[in-house]
Amino acid sequence: MRSKVTAGLFGALVLLSGGVSANALAAPAKPAPKAAPAATGSNWVVNKAASSIVFKSNFDGEDFQGRFNAWDAQISFDPKNLAAAKVTATINTGSAKTGDASRDESMPTGQWFDVAKFPKASFTSTSWKDLGGGKYQVAGNLTLHGVTQPVTLPMSIAIAGNTAKANGAVTIDRSKFGVGGGQFRTAETIPFAVQVVIAITAARGK
């Protein structure tokens, strides 16, 4: 009994003398939770509703444009590791629409995309080059109408937090892919050069 009283008096004297703080005798505080690390993944998920693949040309001198309504893309991009960057896009050619009934009926046929034989077009990147200022040059292979040709796509890419926006435009020669049959085999009514405009919004994946 005496030892317990002595120990209690000793503890009180220590506290009063300032030798040990009250906080030191209290239960140890739990460590503060660590802040979640910022997302740094290089894979991106495309927001289809905010993205588009548009093509532009003209018929008898009158400009028109259309878009592909069904497509998908797998994107891996880190500006600090361009050697590992890659994009693969697949387009359903039968989904092309211009808003003109006659033109839209013709596009899936053998005169144009020949969807029955070539239902999809694709692009796969092979290398990336940083041009500075958020601008890049993406080299790759475009397969269209059963023909594969190299294509270089200039792109501007801006990343804000976990959202990326990419915009680019490239002109392709449809004759090199064998697109255009019958009266459209030549460039008399519709030129060989077709501009493709790409606008992508994507969220960083895990």
* CA–CA distance, 67 with 54 (Å, rounded to integer): 4
51 burial (CB, 10 Å; 0-12 / 13-18 / 19+) is: middle
pLDDT at 4: 43
pLDDT at 41: 60
pLDDT at 15 over 80: no
Q: Grade residue 61 by pLDDT with cuts at 50, 70 and 90.
A: confident
In the chain, domain spans: 43-204
pLDDT (mean) for 42-69: 95
Q: Grade residue 197 by pLDDT with cuts at 50, 70 and 90.
A: very high
36 burial (CB, 10 Å; 0-12 / 13-18 / 19+) is: exposed
In angstroms, the Cα distances linking 140 to 85, 87, 88, 129 are 12, 9, 9, 12
pLDDT at 60: 87
pLDDT at 87 over 50: yes
pLDDT tens-digit profile of 161-196?
A: 999 999 999 999 999 999 999 889 999 999 999 999
| Element holding 179 (H helix, E strand) | none
Helix (H, G, I), strand (E, B) or coil at 121: strand
DSSP string, 141-155: EEEETTEEEEEEEEE
pLDDT (mean) for 32-58: 77
Answer left, alpha or beta for residue 128, where phi above 0 means left and psi between -120 and 50 means alpha. Answer: beta
In three state form, how does the secondary structure of 55-70 look?
Answer: EEEEECCEEEEEEECC
pLDDT (mean) for 103-117: 95
Q: What is the mean pLDDT of the chain?
A: 85
Q: Grade residue 36 by pLDDT with cuts at 50, 70 and 90.
A: very low
Domain 43-204: which CATH number of 3.30.70.260, 2.60.40.1530, 3.40.1180.10, 2.40.128.110:
2.40.128.110
Q: What percent of the chain has pLDDT over 70?
A: 80
Picking from 80, 91, 86, 90, the residue whose alpha carbon sits closest to that of residue 44 is 86
